[in-house]
Amino acid sequence: QVQLVESGGGLVQAGGSLRLSCAASGGTFNPYGMGWFRQAPGKEREFVSAITWSGGNTYYSDSVKGRFTISRDNAKNLVFLQMTSLKPEDTAVYYCAYARMTGLIAAERYHYWGQGTRVTVSS
């Protein structure tokens, strides 16, 4: 069983930056890819970004493309989400997730989820 723990969330003003981290532990860590999703109050969970673990191919939702950057540290089983030019509409709980197969945009492809880290962007 893989455990995922997110960190790095907080309160930031619009236009600011945050860097989220996701640390994996336990089990056999060998994902096809890792992803970030978010859920704003009253809204459904939505895809933010993903990265394939071996090739490092990256994917972004249109709403964050050009502002967010996903990266990984294969040696330390870490995933990062660098968020810049933050907007109030980025306010949400951000979740890290582990996928065993392709189709990284779809939440149902992910098998393990972290507990989330809250990001609040003030206007």
Question: pLDDT 10s digit of each residue in the chain, 123 long?
Answer: 899 999 999 999 999 999 999 999 888 889 999 999 999 999 999 999 999 999 889 999 999 999 999 999 999 999 999 999 999 999 999 999 999 999 999 999 999 999 999 999 999
Which residue reads 């907080």 in tokens? 10
| Cβ density class 98-110: b for 16+ within 10 Å, e for less | bbeeeebbebebb
3-state secondary structure of 75: coil
* CA–CA distance, 101 with 7 (Å, rounded to integer): 25
* CA–CA distance, 91 with 4 (Å, rounded to integer): 21
Do residues 121 and 113 make contact, with C-beta atoms less than 8 angstroms apart? no
